[in-house]
Structure 1
Amino acid sequence: MRKAIQKKHVKKAILLLGLAMITGCTKETQRLSPLSSPDFSLADEMSEETLIPINPTAAITELEPGLSVVQLVGDQGFAQLLEEGGAASDQAVAQFLTRQLTSGSIGYQFPASGFGCSTLTVNDSQGQTLFGRNFDWQSCRALIVLSMPESGYASISMVNLDFITQSMGALSALLSDDLLARAAYYAPLDGMNEAGLAVSVNMIEDQATIEQARGQTDLTTTTAIRFLLNQAQDVPTALELLETLGLHASMGMMIHFAIADAQGNSVAVEYIDNEMVVTSTPILTNFYVASGPKQGIGSSQSHTRYEILNQRLDQKETLNMADVRDALESVSKHNFNEFESTEWSWVFNLATLEAQVYHRENYQSGYVCSLKTLHERKQP
């Protein structure tokens, strides 16, 4: 692994994960030079929001149109996938799921469309690490998956169900809610586990792709996220696990991962010429952040979103969960007059394990869940 960490002088008041406060180290994180200077003020904040507790069951339950929740006990055959060496393509995952879930030829793949996302890792006034994430996409059906594997960490994650069903056409009608939920277990786009690890996938607009022919286990983009949520307790462990994999990009899409933990570590994991490159950064949007010839390549709007979030970090020493929500709102899609929307926004507290989620840019009313409660349900 080639580890790229660019050191840069930062303002005295800036937190940048608060690594010195939490871990006692003095490692600085990368801040790219601004490409634009958006005009916004922290004075324009939202009023107190309503948070509705999530009470998941084994059945898919609709919270509101386009957003549902389910609780899954067990690993849905994922351990067997790993024992068989994983899967090096969406088609291979589909074939495995076909054997696991049905006797017919039903599988899934990802549509060849791009998505834009933003992530932010900060500290609050108590030194707790917070992780925020926007998923920008067309209107879709989102499913919150609360996972309780027999061995491994409980987690909360989000799945775009349209990624599963749109490519199946008429065959999608053959999937019961139970089978759809089990298939969704293999397709998380972000999440947090009970050890306080958060992970998210963001797209990069680049013609290159990821096809690593190495490691004893091959995984695709989202099965790698499931792997990390199940097994990684912190960023160092997550990086060690990724090093053991041959990673393969779904539908050829170039992506990078944002990974953070309760100890205050926050990194971007990128794949350049099929080599894993790790960069410490509290912010990730949709362009390469690693030093080198590809740095900055990606969507132009993602640079604007990066700078908006950069300014948030510059203007406040610490952020609470409401501040992170407001930061995510400031880079949500309605600010850019686009047909896409920010389909969901997560705010995770990696210390208390509280997860707040906002659907389709309604930042006045959201949902809340505690992974500590989920952990208690796992205990005998």
Structure 2
Amino acid sequence: MAKKLACLTAPFICLDGMNERGVSIAVLTLDSEPVNQDTGKQKIFTTLAIRLVLDRAATTQEAVELLDSYDMFATSGRDYHFFVTDAGGDSRVIEYDPEQEGRPLRWTSMQAITNFYGCYAYMVQPNQRNGIYGHGKERYDAIMEVLAMRDPDGDIPADTAWKALQAAAQDPSPNDVTSNTQWSLVYDDTDLTAQIVIRRKWGDVIHYDLNTNEIDG
């Protein structure tokens, strides 16, 4: 029964994903107080918001509009933001402004993000905690250094994406068992495929094709 229940709930507690229209989304933790909007809209919680985007959004802009039509409630006692991309290359960080009353939704066009507010990136220094604004700027800088070596007008090749993920990966910490890279994925929003690595085992890649719903590796 426990296994059956896990299978039934799994689609509603995903932490990232890609849909058949080429929209991909991931959630990352932040250091601010958990958002709990109260504007009178219907409430939605963190993982259900991911399900909403995957089920209904065809573009990043649609994802923004969908999330902005709900009041966000951050679950598990943590605060979060979302990184969304689409097949057209529109990449944005969607956040809930920690400095504004009511925590309104804000989005920022960015090619990458880690555990800091993209809308307040100028407030964040690498290799330290930055209060409510977050941390992990050094990992973001490592990603952007890799991406700077490619053609700025072209797509990001899978091998470049993997180099960026490896550059930003975190080893396990004895003080925080969850503060390490537990899985890494490269989504191809045009081919609708994914490459997956578990716990930094970079040579052991699982391949998934959304078109055929087949796993290889």
Which of 206, 209, 219 matches 2:34? 209
1:179-221 deviation per Cα after TM superposition (whole angstroms, max 9, x unaligned): 1111122111111001000111111112x22111135421100
Name the CA distance, whole Å, in 2 between partners of 1:176 and 1:288: 37
8 A contact 2:91–2:109 mirrored in 1: yes
Q: What residue is the counterpart of 2:164 in the other structure?
A: 327
Q: What residue is the counterpart of 1:306 in the other structure?
A: 140
8 A contact 1:287–1:295 mirrored in 2: no
1:10-57 deviation per Cα after TM superposition (whole angstroms, max 9, x unaligned): xxxxxxxxxxxxxxxxxxxxxxxxxxxxxxxxxxxxxxxxxxxxxxxx
Larger Rg: 1
1:295, distance to aligned residue in structure 2 (A):
3.9
Q: What residue is the counterpart of 2:22 in the other structure?
A: 196
Letter in 2 for 1:220: F
After the TM superposition, which residues 138-177 of structure 1 pair with which residues of structure 2 at under 5 Å, given as runs? Answer: 175-177=1-3
1:240, distance to aligned residue in structure 2 (A):
1.0
1:314, distance to aligned residue in structure 2 (A):
1.6
Name the CA distance, whole Å, in 1 between partners of 2:77 and 2:181: 23
8 A contact 1:285–1:306 mirrored in 2: yes
SS at match of 1:322: helix
Instruction: Using the TM superposition, name which of 338-347 and 282-291 deviates more.
Output: 338-347
Establish whether residue 233 from structure 1 lines up as the match of residue 62 from structure 2: no
After the TM superposition, which residues 222-371 of structure 1 pair with which residues of structure 2 at under 5 Å, given as runs? Answer: 222-272=47-97, 273=100, 274-291=103-120, 295-296=123-124, 297-299=133-135, 302-317=136-151, 319-334=156-171, 338-339=173-174, 340-371=179-210
Name the CA distance, whole Å, in 2 between partners of 1:325 and 1:360: 14
In structure 2, the CA distance between the partners of 1:282 and 1:215, relative to structure 1 (3 Å rule), is farther
Query: How much is the aligned-residue C-alpha RMSD, in angstroms?
Result: 1.9
8 A contact 1:289–1:295 mirrored in 2: no
Name the CA distance, whole Å, in 2 between partners of 1:313 and 1:374: 30
Name the CA distance, whole Å, in 2 between partners of 1:176 and 1:255: 28
8 A contact 1:341–1:361 mirrored in 2: no
Which of 32, 44, 54 matches 1:219? 44
TM-score normalised by structure 1 residue count: 0.49
1:304-357 deviation per Cα after TM superposition (whole angstroms, max 9, x unaligned): 1011011112222253112211211111113xx734431100000000001110
Which of 209, 212, 215 matches 1:373? 212
After the TM superposition, which residues 1-150 of structure 1 pair with which residues of structure 2 at under 5 Å, given as runs? Answer: none
Name the CA distance, whole Å, in 2 between partners of 1:341 and 1:226: 24
Name the CA distance, whole Å, in 1 between partners of 2:109 and 2:208: 28
Select the structure that is richer in strand: 1
SS at match of 1:315: coil
1:269-301 deviation per Cα after TM superposition (whole angstroms, max 9, x unaligned): 110131101100001101112149x842212xx
Q: What residue is the counterpart of 1:186 in the other structure?
A: 12
In structure 2, the CA distance between the partners of 1:215 and 1:231, relative to structure 1 (3 Å rule), is farther
SS at match of 1:185: helix
Fraction of identical pairs, as percent: 28
Name the CA distance, whole Å, in 1 between partners of 2:198 and 2:209: 18
Letter in 2 for 1:202: L
8 A contact 2:146–2:163 mirrored in 1: no
SS at match of 1:341: coil
Q: Which has the higher contact order (CA 8 A, sep 6+)?
A: 1
1:369, distance to aligned residue in structure 2 (A):
1.0
SS at match of 2:186: strand
8 A contact 1:342–1:361 mirrored in 2: yes
Gaps of 5+ in 1: 1-174, 376-380
1:251, distance to aligned residue in structure 2 (A):
2.5
Equivalent pairs counted in the alignment come to: 195
8 A contact 1:210–1:252 mirrored in 2: no
SS at match of 1:333: coil
SS at match of 1:305: helix
